Structure 1
Amino acid sequence: MMDRPNLPLNGLRAFEVAARQGSFTRAAIELRVTQAAVSQQIQRLEDILGHPLFTRASTGLILTDIGAALHPVLTRSLDDMAEALSRCQTGRHREVLNLGVVTTFATGWLIPRLRAFEAAHPQVALRVFTHNNRIDIAKEGLHMAIRFGDPDAWPWHEADPLVAAPMTPLCAPGLAARLRRPQDLAGERLLRSYRAEEWEGWFARVDASCPVLDGPVLDSSVALADLAAAGEGVALLPAAMFTRQLRAGILARPFAAEVDAGRYWLTWPRGRTQSDAMARLRSWLARTIADDPAG
C-alpha cells in the first residue's frame, strides 16, 4: 500500500476529471489550469503506477484496464471528501447522489418534481446529469442512472421499473388537423430516433403499412418534440413525457393508438453497496410514481 504522504493527489484529481470529461482540454477548463498542466500531472501519475491510464483515439480518451479500475474508486473517494467538507461548512450532513437521467424523463417527469424530493429528503444533495440514453455509470462518476429500454440491455446492473412509456405520433396542431387515419402519415415527414424499429411497430399496431422512412434521425426525444412542434414533421414519442406540451396546445396527438417500446428504469451497478441516499431515491421514486405516474 502506498504511504499517504506519497499519494499524488494532484495527479489523481487530474486523472479523475480527464476520465470523466474524456478530454484533457475539457479537464483543463474544469480544473482552471492549462492543458499542459493536466497532461504533466497524469504523466507523473502514470510514471508512479508504471502503467498507462489512457489510450488516445480520434473520438477522445479511452481508459485502459488499469484506468477503468481506478476511475470509479477515485470518483467515490472525491465525492466522499466533498461531502465531508460540505458537512463541516454547513454543520449538517448531506449525502451527495449523482444521478444520470435520460433527458426526456428529466424534462417530462423528474425536474417538475425535484422540489418535492428536496423537501422530503433535505439530507440528500441530488445532482442530476442528463444524457441521451447512452451512459457509463462508473466512467461518468454516477451512483445511479435512469434509462429507457429493457434491462436485458444492461446485464451487469440492477434495475427498478419506473414509468411505462408507450409511444404515439405527436405533431403540431395544424398538421394534426389533416391526419384522419394512419395511412395519411404516408404523405408526411416522419421524424425518427436511432431506434429504427419504433415506427414499424406502431404501423403494425394499427394494421397499416409503414412508409419508407427518410426523415432526419435524432438521438433525443426532446429534440424530436421540438421539431414536431415547429411543424417539421411527425414524431413518435412517449406521450406521458409530453403532457405539458399537449395541454398547452404546443403538440397534438392525432391518434389514440400506442406501441409499447419499453419503459424507464432506475439502474445501478450490480454489487454496488446501496447508500442511504440511493435507498431514499428508490423509495421516493416508487411512491411518487405510484401516486402520479404522468403528472
Structure 2
Amino acid sequence: MTRPYLPLNALRAFEASARHLSFTRAADELNVTQAAISHQVKLLERRLDVVLFKRLPRGLMITSEGEALLPVLRDAFDRMANMLERLEGGKLREILNVGAVGTFAVGWLLPRLARFQAEHPLIEVRLSTHNNRVDQATEGLDYTIRFGDGAWHGLEATRLFPAPLSALCAPFIANRLRTPADLMHQTLLRSYRENEWTQWFTAAGVARPPARTHAIVFDSSLAMMEAATQGAGVALAPPRMFARQLDEGLVVQPFDLYASLGSYWLTRLKSRPPTPAMQAFHDWLLVEVHMAYGDTVQG
C-alpha cells in the first residue's frame, strides 16, 4: 500500500501560524515570506478540503478543523525533534525519566549522579521531584524513588535502604534540650504523616505528646529542614538525607533515638519492561547503595 504524501512544509507553516495566529509572525519564525506561508496553508487546505483559518482584518482565527489538527502536529514535530536531538553526534542517546522524592534527590542522589553520567554518557537522565505522591503511569516515568513500605499496586519495588527518622534542630535549640521529654515544650516540625512524632516519642519512652504541643506540618522535608535550620522548631527527618547540614553544623541531632517508618524504594510499572537505560540505572543505583551501606538491599 502506497503511503500518502505528507506536505511537510505546509504542515509546518500551518503549525507555526496556528501558534502565533499570524502568517507574518509564522514567516518570521520560519525565515520565509508571509506570502509563502499563506500559500502553503492554502495548499494544505485544498489538500484536506477544509478551512483551517478564518482570515480576519487583524490576524487569524483557527477553525474547529484546525484545532483538531494542531495537537497532532505538535506532538509529531516534538517527537521528531526529540529523536533528531538524540541522534546528534552520530550516536543514539537514550532518555531516562526518573522521579524521586525531593529529600532523596537532593540529599542522596544528586551528589552521586555525576558518576552515573560518567559511566553512561549516552543516557540522558531527566530528573523530577515529588513529595512521595506521584502517578508513575500518568507522568510517564521510567522509575520513581519513593519512601514507604514497598507495597504499591501495579509496581515492582526494589528496596534501597531504610531511612529512620530522628530529631534534628538548630544548635541553639539543642542547647536547651536535656531529655527527649523536653521536646514537649518545643515547636515540632513534621510531614503530613501524623504518627511520626508519636512513634519517635514511644521509642524514647515518653508518653504521647499532648494535643497542645505546637506543630507545623510540611509537604516537603526539604522545606521542613530549612525551617529547622532557621530555628523554627525541631524537625523529625532522616539524618542520612541531611548529612551535609549535620556536617556543616547547621543542625544537630540531640538524641541518638530513631523512629523507623519505612525505606526508600526504586519502583517501576510491572507493565513496563526495563529498557537498557533503565537496567543500567537500576544496576548502578544498587552498587552505589552497597558502597554506602553494605548489604541493605532486598527485593
Give me the TM-score of the superposition, normalised by structure 1.
0.73
Offset from partner CA, 1:91-112 (integer Å, 9 cap, x none): 1121000100110001100011
Q: Distance in 1 between matches of 2:78 and 2:258?
A: 42
Give the structure with higher Rg (CA): 2
Q: Which runs of 5+ in 2 are unaligned?
A: 16-60, 295-299
Matched, 1:44 2:42: no
Inter-CA distance 5–189: structure 2 relative to 1 (3 Å threshold): farther
Query: 2 CA distance for matches of 1:38 and 1:273?
Result: 41
- Please give the residue correspondences for 1:202-221 in structure 2 after superposition, counting only pairs within 5 Å: 202-211=200-209, 212=211, 213-221=213-221
Aligned partner of residue 184 in structure 2, secondary structure: helix
Cα 1:275/1:191, change in 2 over 3 Å = same
Q: Partner residue of 2:177? A: 179
Gaps in structure 1 of 5+ consecutive residues: 14-36, 49-73
The corresponding residue for 1:150 is: 149
Name the counterpart of 1:60.
none
Is 1:94 equivalent to 2:93 in the alignment? yes
Contact persistence 1:100–1:129 (CA under 8 A): yes
Q: Are the equivalent residues in 2 in contact too, given 1:100–1:130 (CA < 8 A)? A: yes
% identical equivalent positions: 43
Q: 1:195 aligned to 2:193?
A: yes
Q: Distance in 1 between matches of 2:78 and 2:265?
A: 24
Corresponding residue number in structure 1 for 2:117: 118
C-alpha separation in 1, matches of 2:63 and 2:122: 37
> How big is the shift at 1:177?
1.1
Instruction: Give the conservation status (yes or no) of the 8 Å contact 1:193–1:219.
Output: yes
1:189-236 CA distance string (max 9 Å, x none): 001210011110111111101223441211111111000110000010
Taking a change above 3 Å as real, the CA distance of residues 144 and 41 of structure 1, as seen in their structure-2 partners, is farther
Aligned structure 1 segments of 4 or more residues deviating by more than 4 angstroms: 3-6, 37-43, 77-83
Counterpart contact for 2:163–2:260, Cα < 8 Å: yes
Are residues 1:139 and 2:134 paired? no
**1:150-190 Cα deviation digits (max 9, x unpaired):** 222x1110111112100000000110111111000011000
Residues 87/180 of structure 1: CA separation in 2 closer, same or farther (3 Å cut) = same
Displacement of 1:39 in angstroms is: 11
CA distance in 1, matches of 2:200, 2:188: 12
What is the rounded CA distance, in whole Å, between the counterparts of 2:62 and 2:204 in structure 1?
56
Q: Determine if contact 1:192/1:216 at 8 Å carries over to the other structure.
A: yes
Provide the secondary structure at the position in 2 that maps to 1:281.
helix
Aligned ranges for residues 76-91 of structure 1 at < 5 Å? 81=80, 84-91=83-90
Deviation at 1:81, TM superposition (A): 4.8
Contact 1:83–1:94 (CA under 8 A) maintained in structure 2? no
Per the alignment, in what secondary structure is the counterpart of residue 282 of structure 1? Answer: helix
Q: Which residue of 1 aligns with 2:245?
A: 245
Match of 1:19 in 2: none
Q: What is the distance in 1 between the residues matched to 2:227 and 2:134?
A: 24
Q: Deviations over 1:237-272 (max 9, x none)?
A: 000000010000001100001111111111111121
Q: CA RMSD in A?
A: 3.2
- Structure 2 equivalent of residue 129 of structure 1: 128
2:102 alignment partner in structure 1:
103
Q: What pairs up with 1:248-259 in 2 under 5 angstroms?
A: 248-259=248-259
Aligned equivalent of 2:286: 286
C-alpha separation in 2, matches of 1:144 and 1:79: 23
Which string of whole-angstrom CA distances, capped at 9 and with x for unpartnered residues, describes residues 35-73 of structure 1?
xx9996996279x9xxxxxxxxxxxxxxxxxxxxxxxxx
Aligned partners of 1:246, 1:38: CA distance in 2, in Å? 58
Partner of 2:40: none
Give the Cα separation in 1 of the matches to 2:217 and 2:169. 16
Cα distance change of structure 1 residues 232 and 123 upon mapping to structure 2, 3 Å threshold = same
Take 1:206 and 1:181, find their aligned partners in 2: how far apart are those partners?
9
- 1:222 equivalent to 2:246? Answer no
C-alpha separation between the residues in 2 aligned to 1:268 and 1:82? 27
Shift of 1:293: 4.0
Give the 3 Å change call, closer, same or farther, for CA 267–189 of structure 1 in structure 2: same
The amino acid that maps onto 1:279 is Q
CA distance in 2, matches of 1:38, 1:187: 64
Where does residue 69 of structure 1 map in the other structure? none
